[in-house]
Structure 1
Amino acid sequence: MSSNKPLLNFLSGITFVTLWSSASSATKIGLTAVQPLVLSIPRFILAAALMLGISHLLMRKPIPKDKKLWKQIIIYGFFNVGLYLGLYVVAMQEVSAGLGSLFIAINPVLIMLISTIWYRQPIRPVTLLSFALCMSGMVLAAYPLLHGSHASILGLALLLLCNISYSVGAIYFAKQHWKDTPILTINGWQTLVGCICLLPFAIYYYQSDANVFNGAFLGSVVWLAIPASIIASLIWMMLLKDNPTKASAWLFLCPVAGFAIAATLMGEPLTIYTLAGVVLVIAGLYMVQRMKSEQTQ
């Protein structure tokens, strides 16, 4: 069994990168059929139902009763699902799937920078440099797309805001005491909370003539809820548990995979600006991951 472990980890890493990086393209496909929040709500309901069903029905885990725990779940759900994915799916109307994947990839850098500011710690030069590299890479990759129909200033601003929301949620989650509550239970309920936050906006802005509930819609919802969210997250947790340092290395492939998938499925252009932007983002990610590795040693 141990002789097969390296191969298993490699295949798991490739699967994670592919599934995680496919989310932006799947979102773009879904948006060809329906409005942004009409795409999000069914996805969240399906994902929450699956996670809570497994947690409470199959695993027999109790429903949380502690009021403080519920407060934490609500706050986490608002930032991690309601605000983050709500802004993300709206932004994807304005930008290419490749840029969406590239923005998601910079989350570790944003988390490091925001965490340092939040807890009033001295900001290390390497943190600022990694952030500057990532932002420069984003601007460089987006530059030629701004002249076409593949990106807009509004879309880029929304992507930045949604990633800031995700980073705040991640920092909040890490600093709370969850009283041995299973991660599947937390994720199930926080996903449902995020769905409830978005539901009033989805109803208010709903336009019947702007939505076609076809195969593109159904396929996008199922793919985003199960392979790109639940399965990818489970594989990521497995990789982290086995070796956090090696697991982090897979993040470097996500921007490359995101653009490759977008070019294949969506026909999005790949230019020298794309390559240079991805290289800068990967360099920024590498600096942050190396700094985190040094801090844990």
Structure 2
Amino acid sequence: MSSRISIARPQSNNYNSDPHGLSNSRSAASSGYRAANPDDPLERLQAFAKQVEDYVEIYSQPLKPHLPAIGRFLIVVTFLEDALRILTQWGDQLWYLQQHRKFPWGLSHLFLLINVVVMLGASSTIILKRYTEYAVAGLLAVVVIQGFGYGLIFDLNFFLRNLSVIGGLFMVFSDSMVTRKKLFAGLPSMSETDRRKYFLLTGRVLLIFLFLGFIIQGEWSIVRVFVSIIGLAACVMVAVGFKAKWSATFLVIVLSIFNVFANNWWSVHSKHPQRDFLKYDFFQTLSIVGGLILLVNMGPGGLSVDEKKKTY
């Protein structure tokens, strides 16, 4: 009403529509917008991050349809390699279990056979995207029983790496929930969307433990300190879901480069005992890279800063 009354008033040369000088000082604040300040470091960083996100989005377009398949394959590649290693080193595996772990004859054979069958079968079904929930459960069981069976459950490096592998398996399960129908229709339960949010959150948090293991182990250098600081920041961003696609892409690049130079098992003599350890670390790191690729493809999910920013 006040705007219509003011229009009806006769105008004079001395009339001032804003006698108190409030329009300039409050118009921007009342509208909710303000002019960008090009000299503000935070705004420059935000602009740079947005530009990087745009470039990642543009240049990843040709790969985008294939990212889920690449991610799933990389996640299970460590289980495929492990099954192949058991088959090719069957005698050595039996000797270790019987002599060092005190497995009785027969039980050691059964232990290895179950591991091989489950790893090959579950990995194949995950690649084919069939019966994913059962395949993920089988591989989770393999991770646990191998930790106890080989006596590595209290080894910090093994523990952190396998937490990350478990995170990758959670990402596979989350990916399968996009199209998976409800198993028990009609029963009161948590919705598929809500369950997927929690699985994505758990997978994001667990994926970063490999990089934490990299930070606390190994010899320190200036380059290592720099990479550790930047990588740790990216890990935190992945965990809380802030710029998750950008930070996950960064970790994929860093871990891939680190994996090639630090775990170059192909350059070690086939008889050298260190070769198997490097090979194991190499394929486990590939599995975690696969989990991060699925994160880049799916996004961080509902329980993330990125998703909350869309709401508020």
Q: TM-score, normalised by structure 1?
A: 0.28
Q: Relative to total residues, which structure has the larger helix share, 1 or 2?
A: 1
- Kindly name which structure, 1 or 2, has the bigger radius of gyration based on alpha carbons: 2
Greater relative contact order (Cα < 8 A, sep 6+): 1
